[in-house]
Amino acid sequence: MNLYITFSDRNKIKKCFLNLRKYMIISADEVVQSIGYEEDKLDDCSLFLVNEEIKRLIREGSVRRKLLAVVYSNPDMNDEAVRELIHYANSLHSINRVMLLVEKGQKEEYYELFEEVVFFPSVKKVHIIECQAVPATWATADKDPTEYLT
C-alpha cells in the first residue's frame, strides 16, 4: 500500500479524483475536530494526542484490505513534520512507498525527501493510478517529464 502526503485540503483531492472510495483520506483538520480540540488552541499535549491519532489512522488504514492507499492531507505541515511522517511510514511494513501529491511547480523543496512525486492532474476527475518511477532530475529541468517515460 502507498501513502500519499499532500499540502492540499480534502476538497482539492475530491475535485481531482474519481475513485476515492478505495482510498482513506486523513485530513489533519478533521482529526483535530474529531478529538474535540480547536486548531488555534493546541498546546504541546494536545498536539501529541493529535499526532498519535493520525499515526493510528495511518497504521489502521494501511492494513485494510479493501483500500488501495492512504492519503494524508495537512496544509500546515513543515519540514520536520514531513520528515517524521516519512520516517513513521517507513517503519510500517504495510506501507510500500511514501509519495508527495502536489501541484506541479509547488513545494519543490520537499521533492528530495520522497521516493516519488505525483502531480495533481490538470484534467478534473481522473483515477489515481499506480505511478511509474521517474528520475528526480526532471523535477527541476525545463523538459517535459513524459520525455523520460520512453
Return the pLDDT at 10.
86
64: Cα within 13 Å, side-chain hemisphere:
16
Domains of the chain are 2-149 (3.40.50)
Between the alpha carbon of residue 111 and those of residues 32, 75, 146, the distances in Å are 27, 16, 17
Return the pLDDT at 15.
81
Q: Which DSSP string corresponds to the chain?
A: -EEEEESS-HHHHHHHBS-GGGEEEEEHHHHHHHHT--GGG--HHHHHHHHHHHHHHHHHHHT-TT-SEEEEE-TT--HHHHHHHHHHHHH-TT--EEEEEE-TTSSGGGGGGSSEEEEPPSSSSB---PPPP--GGGGSSSS-GGGGG-
What is the reported pTM? 0.79
- Structure confidence by residue, pLDDT tens digits, 22-51: 889 999 999 998 988 887 788 888 889 999
**Given a cut of 80, is residue 135 above it in pLDDT?**
no
Return the pLDDT at 130.
47
pLDDT band at 14 (very low <50, low <70, confident <90, very high): confident
